[in-house]
Structure 1
Amino acid sequence: MRGSCTSEQCKWLMPSHVKKIPAAPVAVIDFSSAKSKKLRLDCSIEGSTTENKVGKMHPCPRVERGSETYLSFFENLSKNCPRSAALMAREPYHKEFIPTSSMLPKTIFEYRTPETLQLPPKELGELCQDFQLEELTFSQVQAVERATRSQSASRIWFRQRAGRITASKLKQVLKTNPQQPSKSLIKAICYPEAYRFTTAATSYGSKHEAQARGAYEKMMIQEHAGFSCMDSGLWLNPKWPYMGSSPDGIVTCDCHGTGICEIKCPYSQQDEDNLRLCAGKKNFCLINDGDDVILDRNHNYYYQVQAQLHIVNAEYCDFIVWNRNDIFVERIMPDLEFWDYVIPNVECFFKNGILPEILGQQVTQSETK
């Protein structure tokens, strides 16, 4: 039995006499109502005009494709109505309509297969030494960053980070034995969602990050023309596809170009009146350097900042330390000599520690035996 019309989805009914509607420019399509068309026909038979009866038409001026007016229209449309269907077939706006999932690169775990899981240790080790990740494209890098701007609230952020050496883990990676890497570090990198941890210090930092960012923006707007600080997602780099970085913000201004920022809200210094006077205290990230106060170059945070700078390919990083009474900002530049030391060691750790777990579950299987 055929369902009632109210039980079906709404749809347009095509007139029975219409078999095909050819595509045509809007300028040549007649949108007149049936009544107006009949009136024109009657007038043509009578030999009179329809101008007095149906009103004088005022056609819009024709805009040439590719003209300044044409391009300006679509640019303004993209700013004010970015999801307009008119943009779907126009370059470069059509890229915003491509589903994000179809543009994302393979996750590191997608390289695992039933065959790699069955390899004996020697063959698994040989495979890992010769293994190459697929090349990342610029479009894939952009897609991951756009899709992960909510960071820890994004499932894609966790999936794309899993198995990649992130900036916050860099110093730990460089300090572990590359031939017998730390199992706990391997698990934290391969399974970041499962090995999340929360302490009073991390909770305090997360709670006050937005407030710290606001104080930083207020200060920088007064000193830099055209300053802005935007949310950032997970950044990958085609040169080092086994690494990832999620800075706290992407920074731009007319005077210094594009950089990043990293915000720290230290729990142990939350009530200090002057953060610079805390420099040199045990476990604090700031130290005295002559008359200056700087980020300790041996601290985890310096390793993190350098990884962010190189992975994002940023010109500078504003390292921010904030509490309710004070704010400290140091602009840090890429350290090329440091990075030349980093890359071969990180690659060694990835092949000796991460890939055996990704492809063959070397660590987790050994713990279940």
Structure 2
Amino acid sequence: MFAKKRKEVCAMIQDHSPLSVREKNGLQQLEIKSLTTAHCHKKRIGLCGILDSANMQDVIHDHDYLPFPLHHQLILNKISVTPDSAKEIEKKTKNQTKTKLWHTERSFRVTASRVGEICKFTAKKDQEKYAQILICNKKIVSTALEWGKSMETTAIEAYEGKTGKKVERCGLYVSVQYPFIGASPDGLIGDNKILEVKCPYSIKDEMIGSNNYFHLEHDLQLKETSNYYYQIQTQLLVTGRDCCDLFIWTNVDEKIINVKKNDSFIQNIIIPRVKAFFFQFMLPKIAKNMYDC
């Protein structure tokens, strides 16, 4: 009877040692210790039932050979995606804000709409504060945001009517190469273009121009200094597409501005700055919130 029980317990023990040393002499002690603490009787609980829970700080110390602290590595493992799992996330989050998964997956990542602010930070205290805001994932309410959300569908329909192109709604895209970056474009156009819609409340009853919409140059091109430029370039990075139609809509006017992918801008500015922000400020706060250490 005991032999049968012993085999059952042995089958449940997970050996996390490297394959090169697994089942070599010396590891029998690990098995004996596991059996001793796990074995129970109908009248007695096992030792593991009366021992204190593992101290996370001690566990982290025991894994100091990892490239990152253990609790940081656990987060990185959690957000890592394959091409297939990234597609699955996008598929399941097509309703975006109405989907719980959309909010959950975003909470572990820097998303495109935040990249402009992150890339422009210079003070450490500002980055720490902003990282805390991101992981708290508090709902921001403002008249301008509510207006933009309420008019988004109207604007997309206006774009389709103006161009004759069908807009495909999409969910959250996660970068396979940089899984700490995510983006949710307002739509997909064909095989190589995305759509980003802006319905500015400040000029909702005005014609659109560089004189009243500071994101635009005099020739009605999007400024590279605009946070929208950073947002769109990040969306193009994550979706793997090459251009974006920025559609600006008001009650009396509408403009289509084509924005091409800027590989140099992405590689030299966006990726290094977002990566530094995530690993230095955001990842430690996520890990602390999840593991309290």
TM-score over 0.5 (shorter chain) = yes
Which secondary structure does the structure 1 equivalent of 2:172 belong to?
A: coil
Contact 2:90 2:171 in 1 (8 A): yes
- Counterpart of 1:214 (choices 141, 157, 160) is 157
Counterpart amino acid of 2:180? Y
Counterpart amino acid of 1:251? I
| Distance in 1 separating the partners of 2:55 and 2:238 | 32
In structure 2, what is the equivalent of residue 115 of structure 1?
56
Which secondary structure does the structure 1 equivalent of 2:167 belong to?
A: strand
Q: Tell me: CA distance 1:357–1:118, structure 2 relative to 1, closer, same or farther (3 Å).
A: farther
In structure 2, what is the equivalent of residue 133 of structure 1?
76
- Counterpart of 2:188 (choices 221, 244, 250) is 250
Q: Larger deviation: 347-356 or 170-179?
A: 170-179
Map 1:186-205 onto structure 2 (within 5 A). Answer: 186-192=131-137, 195-205=138-148
| Distance in 1 separating the partners of 2:100 and 2:189 | 25
Which secondary structure does the structure 1 equivalent of 2:256 belong to?
A: strand
| Structure 1 unmatched ranges of 5 or more | 1-112, 222-226
In structure 2, what is the equivalent of residue 347 of structure 1?
275
Q: CA RMSD in A?
A: 3.0
**Bigger radius of gyration:** 1
- Aligned-pair CA distance for 1:326: 1.1
Q: Tell me: CA distance 1:143–1:114, structure 2 relative to 1, closer, same or farther (3 Å).
A: farther
Counterpart amino acid of 1:187? Q
Map 1:231-310 onto structure 2 (within 5 A). Answer: 231-252=169-190, 257-272=191-206, 274-275=207-208, 278-281=209-212, 284-288=214-218, 292-310=219-237
Which secondary structure does the structure 2 equivalent of 1:329 belong to?
A: strand
| Distance in 2 separating the partners of 1:306 and 1:248 | 14
Q: Tell me: CA distance 1:357–1:309, structure 2 relative to 1, closer, same or farther (3 Å).
A: same
Contact 2:111 2:183 in 1 (8 A): yes
- Counterpart of 1:143 (choices 71, 85, 88) is 88
- Counterpart of 2:263 (choices 333, 336, 350) is 336
Q: Deviations over 1:121-148 (max 9, x none)?
A: xx89962898483442111111101111
- Aligned-pair CA distance for 1:360: 2.1
Q: Tell me: CA distance 1:158–1:129, structure 2 relative to 1, closer, same or farther (3 Å).
A: closer
Q: Tell me: CA distance 1:302–1:340, structure 2 relative to 1, closer, same or farther (3 Å).
A: same
Question: TM-score, length-normalised on structure 1?
Answer: 0.58
Which secondary structure does the structure 2 equivalent of 1:331 belong to?
A: strand
Q: Tell me: CA distance 1:235–1:304, structure 2 relative to 1, closer, same or farther (3 Å).
A: same
| Structure 2 unmatched ranges of 5 or more | 1-53
Q: Deviations over 1:286-315 (max 9, x none)?
A: 221xxx211121111111000001111112
Q: Tell me: CA distance 1:184–1:348, structure 2 relative to 1, closer, same or farther (3 Å).
A: same
- Counterpart of 1:160 (choices 102, 105, 112) is 105
Contact 2:109 2:182 in 1 (8 A): yes
Counterpart amino acid of 1:318? D
Question: TM-score, length-normalised on structure 2?
Answer: 0.72
Counterpart amino acid of 1:212? A
In structure 2, what is the equivalent of residue 360 of structure 1?
288
Contact 2:195 2:244 in 1 (8 A): yes
In structure 1, what is the equivalent of residue 6 of structure 2?
none
Q: Tell me whether 1:229 sits opposite 2:167 in the alignment.
A: yes
Counterpart amino acid of 2:169? D
Q: Tell me: CA distance 1:215–1:280, structure 2 relative to 1, closer, same or farther (3 Å).
A: same
Contact 1:266 1:322 in 2 (8 A): yes
Map 1:321-332 onto structure 2 (within 5 A). Answer: 321-332=248-259
